Amino acid sequence: MALDTAVSSRLRVYWQPHCSSCAFVKQFLTRNGVDYESINVLEHKNAYDDMRAIGARSVPIVARGDKFVYAQSIADVAAFVGLAPTSFGLAPAVLIERGETILAASERYVRQLPEALLATEMPNRPNRTYRILAHHAFNVVETFLEALGGDVLTYETLVRPPPGEMHSSAQIADYGHDIRGRFLTWWRASADRNGVAPMNTYYGEKPMREVLLRTVSHAGQHSRQLAALLHMNGIAPNQALPDSVYDGLLVAEDALDR
């Protein structure tokens, strides 16, 4: 189905529930007074057809007519909608410290997840189970580390499912522990302390600092979701993180979409 650009001249945001960058870009546009049509791709029958018609393959995107930008880059979104350039000023060393804290919290939360809940789907998100979310909270950092080695950071690697043999809470938490160690080992050896080296991503070539911010924010939002799911199931998160950990990150106000 071809997109009718005459009908679709209004700014549109294509998104899905419990997607960290989806939630943040909607909040960013709303807080800056930008009007847009909100399109949940899980509810709108033709949404994926419309996205494919303009060349987009994943959410979130911000589109007008047949032009779009991937919303993983808030700088790209700001330029696309005519806002002043947006700067998020956390230094790489601060982002590393936040990332370590977030990964450690996610590991604690996953160890608390009862095995019987792992197959439970997240609210309004078919096919994203607690097991998949738990793995994803660490996989976003592994994907970043792989891209540092020269691989392209792709959407497909970001959303790859957990291996078949990784089926228990302890196994997923152990995986997260390993990723946290690799993350810190990389940083200790890195010569790029300012994060200026370019990285290849599916949303364009970006300086490492920007991709690191997106990665830590991504992991942070999913860590908040894990804590929220524990609360929903009557379990108090072990050493829950204060909101100050997320200051300056690209995380939405709410952990879960309602």
What is the structure's pLDDT at 8?
Answer: 59
d(CA 23, CA 25): 6
Q: Name the 3-class secondary structure at 40.
A: strand
What is the pLDDT at residue 6?
45
The CATH number of domain 12-81 is 3.40.30.10: yes
Residue range 92-246 forms a domain whose CATH class is mainly alpha
How far apart, in whole angstroms, are the C-alpha atoms of residue 77 and residue 22?
A: 12
pLDDT of residue 1: 42
Domain with CATH 1.20.120.450 in the chain: 92-246
Name the burial class of residue 77, with classes exposed (0-12), middle (13-18) and buried (19+) by CB atoms within 10 angstroms of its CB: buried
Neighbours of 152 (CB within 10 A): 12
Q: Which residues pair with 15 in a beta bridge?
A: 40
* Whether 90 contacts 248, CB under 8 Å: yes
Q: What is the pLDDT of residue 4?
A: 58
Beta bridge partners of 198: 207
Looking at the chain, the domain(s) classified CATH 3.40.30.10 span 12-81
Q: Which two tokens stand for residue 139?
A: 């996989």
pLDDT tens for each residue of the chain, 258 residues long: 455 544 458 999 999 999 999 999 999 999 999 999 999 999 999 999 999 999 999 999 999 999 999 999 999 999 999 999 877 779 999 999 999 999 999 999 999 999 999 999 999 999 999 999 999 999 999 999 999 988 999 999 999 999 999 999 999 999 999 999 999 999 999 999 999 999 999 999 999 999 999 999 999 999 999 999 999 999 999 999 999 999 999 999 999 986
The pLDDT of residue 3 is 52
pLDDT of residue 85: 82
